Structure 1
Amino acid sequence: MICLGIHREISIKDHWKAPSLGDQRPLHSFTKFMPLLKFELITRYFRTFDYTKLDVRDESDLPKTFQAAEEWSEHIQKASAELYLPGTDLTVDECMIPFTGRSKETTVVKNKPTLVGFKVWVIAQQGYFLQWLWHVKASPYKAVIVELPIPKPYGKQGKLQTEIPLSNTQSVVVHLLKRLPIQTYHVFTDNLFSSPHLFRRLRQLGYGATGTARPNCGITTEMKHIKETGKAPDGRPLEYNEVIQIAWKDSNIVLFLSTVHSGAPHERTPKKRKLPAKRGTKAEARRLQQVFNGDSFKMIPIPTVAAAYNDEMNHVDRGDQIRSYTTFAHNSLIGSLI
């Protein structure tokens, strides 16, 4: 198995093919001691788990597919925590494990390098996966309750609402952070997770948070209007429930939420920016010509919240790239060897 992982071929059968005239390939010595048919018969019964311990009767437990890998998953996460002490800046994002076999837990995610497979929620730093949770359609992770600072009337009778539950997806961020060693963290999320209620809860727990936001995540009406109209904001951040809301126009309007960055005009970070290929309207093209003055790139001060997000939000994606270098890239009818 180790040899198959180190010496890659297009398929498993190619390891048993002998070199011939015009077809130069390595001759693997282990093929003299184990025929291909015998190897295929053995791999049919190869398991990395004890199938007698799988319990599919408890609906609140993990699905059978994830139960089979849970023991290995917990062991790897425990070893990861012992070998690596995380710093301050972390990223929470979704990750895809390639799998095209039969399983009810298989997920299709568009606009991802891996379209089909198992979805996993990951908290990572510099490409190092610290902790993760399986994505289960009937989520076993309890929703986190957020206390509101000012009770708000809701419903026809105008009852006062003092707390609000987060969605299952947003609650994953809290559960992942609680699995790490106790210290101060600054977590970055994309608009799949970000909301004022989540960031307020993270602030209550002693964590900082920064991320992009969608117009329907609970932001103020003024920020919604800026996003919908596409007009350049005046650069004035808004504070709501101890969460800073920032609108910044790059090529498009981008909404940010943060409990760390204030979004003040003096919070700027110089970044090297290339001259855009698409100039937009005549007014925008004229403005770009004034800024770049014929140069192909320019050092432009951008909001620190945007610079920090661009630098820190790729920790999970870098981990996916690192994992792609060490997989057993073999086509097999019974799935991947790992």
Structure 2
Amino acid sequence: MCQYTGKTSPCRQYTKSKPHPWGFKIWGRASVSGILHDFEVYQGGDGKRTELGQGADVVLKLTSTLQENWRYKIFGDNLFTSLPLISELNKKGMFYTGTVRTNRVPKCNLQNEKVLKRKGRGSYDSYEEEVNNVVAVRWYDNKAVTLLSSLTGVQPLAQAKRWDKPSKEHRFYNMPAIIQSYNKNMGGIDLLDSFLAKYRFAMKSRRWYLYLYWHFLMVAVINAWNVYRRDSRLLKLPKSEMLNTVEENSKLRLLTVSSL
């Protein structure tokens, strides 16, 4: 979300669950390191939604710029995940992993949350759908979470370290491979949002499009910083030769540019 509380823009949206509910909703595709690769500013419904639903349409549009049959691995949350989406990505030679809402897998006979809770933390159940080569896994941690994937399944099991209140010590619980893969690769957009929050600009303008301009200007700066860090690691530069963060390096100065 790009924060905007004015009332002059036709693109302004309200999203209750966001820290800044009023603003411009932006769909984005980012890598694990937080580099934004593609985006689309949501401008409201246009009546062109397909039978796949809004979430699937967004994923297909943002992945349309990727070359097909290159075995890309796509990760998304429960807003986007559905079996029809995974089927369409399979046709393009792309893999998908994501959390899913239970009403989107009605014929998937997984054990419900109450049964898994009785078995205890670390319990899980899985189901394989052979037509689309998809695995559904429900795992119980603090509560049950369900995931779909055309890439990863249950095996090999990993170990999740959790604090156990009754024994007052850390314990290890079984964690399916799909959970480990999702936790490792998901969160690029959240990471980008955290960077933007640290260097959020303070400006006011009657022209609503300037808010989007400044937002993507900061995204470009953050992208450049992330690309620099990535390339420095690939070139195996010593840490003494690499630039630090803005807060730690006195050579870097954050310039405040007045609004037009």
TM-score, normalized by the shorter chain, greater than 0.5: yes
What is the 5 A alignment of 1:9-24? none
Alpha-carbon distance in structure 2 between the residues aligned to 1:257 and 1:327: 35
Q: TM-score, normalised by structure 1?
A: 0.54
Alpha-carbon distance in structure 1 between the residues aligned to 2:134 and 2:20: 34
Q: CA deviation at 1:236?
A: 4.2
Query: RMSD of aligned C-alpha atoms?
Result: 2.5
Q: TM-score, normalised by structure 2?
A: 0.68
The amino acid across from 1:314 in the alignment is G
1:138/1:334 CA distance change after superposition, 3 Å: closer
2:133 pairs with 1:133: no
Match of 1:106 among 12, 25, 41: 12
Match of 1:185 among 72, 86, 100: 72
Structure 1: tracts of 5 or more residues without a match: 1-95, 144-164, 277-284
Match of 2:55 among 148, 166, 169: 169
What's 2:114 paired with? 230
Whether contact under 8 Å (2:137, 2:148) holds in the other structure is yes
Match of 1:257 among 134, 148, 152: 148
Q: CA deviation at 1:328?
A: 2.0
What's 2:192 paired with? 319
What is the 5 A alignment of 1:1-338? 96-102=1-7, 103-125=9-31, 126-139=33-46, 143=50, 165-182=51-68, 183-223=70-110, 226-227=111-112, 230-232=114-116, 235-240=124-129, 241=131, 242-263=133-154, 266-275=155-164, 285=166, 289=167, 294-295=168-169, 297-331=170-204, 336=211, 338=214
**Per the alignment, in what secondary structure is the counterpart of residue 175 of structure 1?**
helix
Q: CA deviation at 1:331?
A: 4.8
Q: CA deviation at 1:110?
A: 2.1
The amino acid across from 1:120 in the alignment is I
- Hey, which bits of structure 1, 4+ residues long, moved more than 6 A? none
Whether contact under 8 Å (2:89, 2:95) holds in the other structure is yes
Deviations 1:110-164 (A, max 9, x none): 2222211111111101111100112232247663xxxxxxxxxxxxxxxxxxxxx
Alpha-carbon distance in structure 1 between the residues aligned to 2:77 and 2:67: 23
Alpha-carbon distance in structure 2 between the residues aligned to 1:202 and 1:121: 18
Whether contact under 8 Å (1:139, 1:168) holds in the other structure is no
Alpha-carbon distance in structure 2 between the residues aligned to 1:303 and 1:218: 19
What's 2:237 paired with? none
**Per the alignment, in what secondary structure is the counterpart of residue 251 of structure 1?**
coil
Whether contact under 8 Å (2:158, 2:175) holds in the other structure is yes
Whether contact under 8 Å (1:269, 1:307) holds in the other structure is yes
Alpha-carbon distance in structure 2 between the residues aligned to 1:172 and 1:217: 17
Whether contact under 8 Å (1:141, 1:172) holds in the other structure is no
Whether contact under 8 Å (2:55, 2:81) holds in the other structure is no
**Per the alignment, in what secondary structure is the counterpart of residue 104 of structure 2?**
coil
Q: CA deviation at 1:230?
A: 2.5
Whether contact under 8 Å (1:245, 1:257) holds in the other structure is yes
Give the length in aligned residue pairs: 201
Q: CA deviation at 1:215?
A: 1.4
Structure 2: tracts of 5 or more residues without a match: 215-260
Q: CA deviation at 1:235?
A: 3.8
% same residue: 25
What's 1:43 paired with? none
